[in-house]
Amino acid sequence: MAGLTQSSIGRKFLMALSAIFLLIFLLNHLSINLISIFSPEAFNAASHFMESNPLIQFVMQPLLIAGVVFHFVMGFVLEVKNNAARPVKYAVTNNSGNSSWASRNMIISGAVILAFLALHFADFWIPTISKNYFGAAHDETPYEHVQEKFEALWRVVAYVICFVLLGLHLSHGFQSSFQSIGARHPKYLPLVKALGNWYSILIPLGFIIVAVYHHISQS
């Protein structure tokens, strides 16, 4: 591990692995959230299973938190190293012609997403932990808790903005991650790019639909 973090290629490889781990998590997380649109009872059952499953609580959740922190820290380190390797910045450049906004501002979108995760954890993860392990009073069902959180319009707007930024982050990060682990063959690059485009649209859109649905269903 130490050897990998000492080289630019090694850091990019580790960054890519953490990204792919988070891509899988997002797909799983969205699939559970979408259940809340179709069946409150099924969503409550799925939530209860996750809350009471020791493997999820004591293995997967810590791994997820570690993955998020590692991904952001490694992204910050790569950004600093890349800037240090380019000490001279040209006064006039045509960055927009050579790269997308998303690829040039991954650290910005990543920082906003990290701030959003803090809000998301405060909204959903901390209440669950406080109820399960510290005996905090929490009589709402998981479905009722989601409804209560998305009742406020400002929170829905904040979630939508962050999911749009997530989509931009994913639009570059998906393809970049697979290229960093060696998926560079010209035969497969179009497929990776197409999957990345669809993923970066459908996953954030799915989360937006969930947030908006729970807001308007109370109107």
Per DSSP, the chain holds a count of helices (H) and strands (E) of 12, 0
Distance separating alpha carbons of residues 204 and 96, to the nearest angstrom: 24
Task: Give the percent of the chain with pLDDT over 70.
Answer: 89
Q: What confidence category does residue 38 fall into, taking pLDDT thresholds of 50, 70 and 90?
A: very high
92-101 long-range CB contacts below 8 Å, 24 or more apart?
100/171, 100/172, 101/168
Residue range 131-164, pLDDT digits in tens:
777 767 677 899 999 999 999 999 999 999 999 9
What average pLDDT does the segment 169-188 reach? 85
Sign of CA dihedral 9, 15, 21, 23: negative
Average of per-residue pLDDT values in the chain: 86
pTM: 0.87
How far apart, in whole angstroms, are the C-alpha atoms of residue 207 and residue 12?
A: 28
Percentage of the residues of the chain whose pLDDT score is greater than 90: 44
